[in-house]
Amino acid sequence: MVNPAQALRSKNSAAETSALKTALLAKGAFTDLETLLTLRHVAADLKLWPLKPSLATQAGSTRTRFRGRGMEFEEVRVYQPGDDIRTIDWRVTARTQVPHTKLFREERERPTLIVFDQRSSLFFGSQRCFKSVLAAHIGVLIAWASLQHSDRVGGLVFGDTHHQDVRPQKSKHAVLELVKVINQFNHQLKSPDKNTGDQSISLSQLLEDTRRLAKPGTAVYIISDFQDLLTETKNDISKQLYLLARHCEVTLFQVFDPLERRIDTPGFFTVSDGNRRAQIKGDDKHLNDSLQAQFDNVINTLKHITGPLRINHAMFSTADDELQQLRQIFRK
């Protein structure tokens, strides 16, 4: 196996670079702290282009669709009462005999808040990694990429019964703290059958806590499997997403495993929740139809909620390359 740290210190050939990227892909049942830290190198060229105008009030390095005073020229228009006289375009004014002013694209800060779902339903996987590990890798890649853009970076990490937040800061220490927390929560997972009763944190509670921490103009990335949509009241989740999307740019990253959609392998398999065991037939039509219906129900419900709110939604499989998918999503 390629050692990521050693490979990055050397001048990589094409083969070494490919091997490095493969070594840094999400894999296994638990996260690896060294791999999460090394992801900062492959995240350096990941461009998180903002999909909506920034509402933040502090100046920063993110280009927005706001027009005003800034460094990059946008357009010339007729002078209006209240415009800064220092931006009058005297050449156009002299030529047209009508006062015109220059407009520039403002640069505003865009804080980044990453919400990691590390509850028991994500402690499952049949391909390269568990859903919980994939969610951690996606979030950490976004965190390192946001720091490269000089954005303030923070996050919330949710377990079954508690959560921990890292306040957004423009500092490498904030990302390192976030990586530490996500690694700790991930290694506390034990079973996809949570058995935590009424104490379990629901998706609507997760969204409500996120809304309290996210300031206007924040880019919020929520990474979860959204399995709560099968059990929770849809109106509660829809309400929280609506309130969050009013002032923030919200992106939902849904992680899933192909086995949750269909079992194509023939034969009998033994499944267990830790206490009981049962056998299932892999290519059973009734079972596969049921799995497909549940899977489609989650996706359709999520699209029904996010569509009117214009919330971005993308899906990540445990069998795919998460870095390549992120590049496709954020390509300009």
pLDDT digits (tens, 9 = 90+) for 135-185: 999 999 999 999 988 889 999 999 999 999 999 998 999 999 999 999 999
Bridge pairing between strands 249-256 and 219-224? parallel
| Rounded Cα–Cα distance for residues 79 and 217 (Å) | 29
**For the segment 179-217, what is each residue's pLDDT rounded down to a tens digit?**
999 999 999 998 776 655 556 899 999 999 999 999 888
The model's pLDDT over 228-271, given as tens digits with 9 standing for 90+, comes to 888 877 888 999 999 999 889 999 999 999 999 988 778 887 87
Q: What is the reported pLDDT for 55?
A: 38
Identify which has the larger pLDDT, 9 or 322. 322
Q: What would the DSSP string read from start to end of 57-119?
A: -SEEEEEEEEEESSSEEEEEEE--TTS-GGGB-HHHHHHHSS-EEEEEEEEE---EEEEEE-S
Q: What average pLDDT is seen over the chain?
A: 83
Q: Which of these, 106, 92, 121, lies nearest to 230 by C-alpha position?
A: 121
Flag whether pLDDT at 292 surpasses 60: yes
> For the CA atoms of the chain, what is the radius of gyration?
23
How many C-beta atoms surround the C-beta of residue 24 within 10 A? Answer: 24
CA atoms 60, 168, 171, 180: torsion sign: negative
Q: How much is the average pLDDT of 79-96? A: 88
- Prediction pTM value: 0.77
DSSP conformation class of 129: B
pLDDT computed for residue 241 by the predictor: 94
